[in-house]
Chains A and B, each alone.
Chain A
Amino acid sequence: EVQLVESGGGLVQPGGSLRLSCAASGFNFNTYEMNWVRQAPGKGLEWVSYISSRGGTIHYADSMKGRFTISRDNAKNSLYLQMNSLRAEDTAVYYCARELYGGIDIWGQGTVVTVSS
């Protein structure tokens, strides 16, 4: 079964850090581009970051540049999102997501990040 499972979410104080992980299974992870997408409470979907299949190309949403770092370990079938200098507005469900033909065809169940003092 094709699956993405996120972990690492939780409660963190403003200015703090978290590292999200995503474990992929059921497909050849190293051949797919990957993304992180988030949804804040009561809000719509917001694209966060993209990484190419081998990790050579990376993009971020403007509000995450310099604070978030996406990475992947193809040997471990894993995707990561290091989040630093967290703000209240980063509170959201974070989804790990596989890209195919430009669309995101596989999504994880999401991990909740809450930034609050």
Chain B
Amino acid sequence: DIQMTQSPSSLSASVGDRVTFTCRASQSISNYLNWYQLKPGKAPKLLIYAASSLQSGVPSRFSGSGSGTDFTLSISSLQPEDFATYYCQQSYSTPRTFGQGTKVEIK
């Protein structure tokens, strides 16, 4: 199975900050990498698919990059509604494993 490792597990930031976090796959997954935002009591929301494609309706402050084993999600200017937990997921093979998440908290 492909293991997905996210770092950091949590970070504190302020509104307006640029934040970046990473996801590493245990083997090459090409660009089969997705990013989701999860808020308590709500269903996950797809932000980025295929490593760098912005899902329809997602603000352009979100961006993704990477290929192979190393990927990043960036938020160019953190907004109050962005405080949440972010998960990466590989769709290269089954099981379609998720990372353990990065929680973005208010500083």
Instruction: Kindly identify which residue among A47, A101, A109 contacts B96, using a CB–CB cutoff of 8 Å.
Output: A47
* Contact indicator per residue, chain A 78-89, by CB within 8 Å of chain B (1) or not (0): 000000000000
> How would residues 9 to 46 of chain B score, 1 for a CB under 8 Å from any chain A CB and 0 otherwise?
00000000000000000000000101010100001111
By a CB distance below 8 angstroms, the chain A residues around B53 are 101
Tell me the total A-B contact number using a CB cutoff of 8 A: 64
A88 CA to B46 CA, complexed, in Å: 29
Residue of B at shortest CB range from A48?
B95
CB distance A103 to B95 under 8 Å? no
Contact A45 B44 (CB under 8 A): yes
Residue numbers in B under 8 Å from A108 (CB-CB) = 43
Q: What are the interface flags for B46-61 relative to A under an 8 Å C-beta threshold, 1 for contact and 0 otherwise? A: 1011100101000000
Residue A95 at the chain B interface, CB threshold 8 Å: yes
Q: How many residues of B contact A (CB 8 A)?
A: 26
**A33 vs chain B, min Cβ distance (A):** 10
**Could you tell me which residues of chain A, from 61 to 117, have a CB within 8 Å of some CB in chain B?**
61-62, 95, 99-105, 107-110
Q: Are B100 and A47 in contact (CB under 8 A)?
A: no
Interface size class of A (residues with CB under 8 A): 20 to 34
Docked complex Cα distance between A95 and B53 (Å): 23
Give the nearest-CB partner of A106 in chain B: B46
A39 to B87, CA, bound (A): 12
CA distance A59 to B94 in the complex (A): 7
In the complex, which residue of chain A has the Cβ closest to the Cβ of B92? Answer: A102
> Contact between B46 and A103 (Cβ–Cβ < 8 Å)?
yes
Pairwise interchain contact B89-A45, C-beta atoms closer than 8 A: yes
In the complex, what's the smallest C-beta–C-beta distance from B91 to chain A, in angstroms?
3
Q: In whole angstroms, what is the CA distance A49 to B48 when docked?
A: 21
| Pairs A-B, 4 closest by C-beta atoms | A103-B49, A102-B91, A59-B94, A107-B43
Which of B's residues lie within 8 Å of A, judged by CB? Answer: 1, 32, 34, 36, 38, 43-46, 48-50, 53, 55, 85, 87, 89, 91, 94-101
